[in-house]
Amino acid sequence: MQFSFRMPVAVHILLCIACFQKEIKVTSTFLSGSVNVHPVIIRKTLGQLKAAGLVDVAAGVGGAKLKKAPADITLQDIFQAVEEEEDLFHLQENPNPACPVGRNIHALLNGRLQTIRGHMMDDLRQITLQTLLDDLSKRTA
């Protein structure tokens, strides 16, 4: 059990845009070739990133560009743009209210799991696109 492609794919997309937007027109077909994911998934993800204000996508002519500086885009921004779930774990919906454990299990776990999710968000916020770009240029040097 783990999170899906989405966030990593979105990061990949944004890195490609950051690297190539000055040289070429970054289309969903181009991105599809680098990420190796279907163009429609790319467009859907791009749409979520656009809705989150992270990128601009040219309507007819095509091509995506970053809307913010890489240092101002965090993994938390990206995560929240593409993942809609509020909870880290799926809790069983109908525990038995006649059982003291069943009656309280949600209350016991919810707060604590939300706290953990909050820490995860804090961690994601520490990583910016610029961090990754710097690391990338080190590796390609």
Instruction: Point out which residues bind a copy of itself (CB under 8 A).
Output: 1-9, 11-12, 15-16, 19, 33-37, 83, 85, 87-92, 94-96, 99-102, 104-105, 107-109, 112, 115-116, 119-120, 123-124, 127, 132, 135-136, 139-140
Instruction: Return the one option of a copy of itself, DNA, none that residue 59 interacts with (CB less than 5 to 8 A, by type).
Output: DNA
Among 111, 23, 104, 14, smallest CA distance to 67 is for 14
The stretch near DNA (CB under 7 A) out of 15-23, 24-32, 98-106, 128-136 is: 24-32
Measure the CA–CA gap between 42 and 40, rounded to whole angstroms: 5
- Spell out, one character per residue from 39 to 78, where the chain touches DNA: x when CB under 7 A holds, - when not: xxx-xx-xx--x------xxxxxxxx--------------
Q: Is 37 in the site for DNA (CB under 7 A)?
A: yes
Farthest CA pair distance, the chain: 65
Exposure string over 16-48, b if 16+ CB within 10 A, otherwise e: bbbbbeeeeebbbebbbeebebebebbbebbeb
